[in-house]
Amino acid sequence: MQKEPFAEFPKIKPGSIEYRDYQVNLARVAERESTLVVLSTGLGKTVIAALVAALRLDKYPDSKILFLAPSRPLADQQAKFLRRVVDVPEDSVVCLTGQDGPAVRKEVWKKNKIIVMTPQALQNDLVQGSYGLQDVSLIVYDEA
């Protein structure tokens, strides 16, 4: 059992996430297999997702992480949190929605590690063949 007050994970900025056993345990399970995490508001589903993202980036450093959020405000909130806690250059965590044009989304997709976007924007881009998901090592569905 960890005695530190903060979670120590590869690719997580030191001191950015308070250590909670259940979050770390769920993250370790979710890193290995598809998982639906159902917790009450405020218990840290986003923290768990960030921990899993960090584990995947550590294991697959050339991969991308995709977070899907149902609205622009939620996508912005997720991106802001991920920039604060995941140890990657802050400008490699981006938020994309339908408000961003298809050409912009395609270019941003190529250049970044963690992409937070709405499912509608992703669906449109996949249908148009703008990019594929072959480089994605994790997809997180917020509000699944």
In order along its 144 residues, the chain shows pLDDT tens digits of 555 698 888 999 999 999 999 999 999 999 999 999 999 888 899 999 999 999 999 999 999 999 999 999 999 999 999 999 999 998 999 999 888 998 999 999 999 999 999 999 999 999 999 999 999 999 999 876
CA-CA-CA-CA dihedral for 69, 74, 76, 77, to nearest 10: -120
Secondary structure class of 6 (helix, strand, coil) = strand
Q: At what angle do helices 119-128 and 102-111 cross, to 10 degrees?
A: 90
Structure tokens at 126: 């996949």
In this structure, which amino acid lies at residue 48? I
Domains detected in the chain: 21-141 (3.40.50.300)
Sheet of strand 114-117: strand arrangement: 93-96, 114-117, 64-68, 136-141
Task: Kindly give the pairing relationship between strand 93-96 and strand 114-117.
Answer: parallel
pTM of the model: 0.90
pLDDT of residue 144: 63
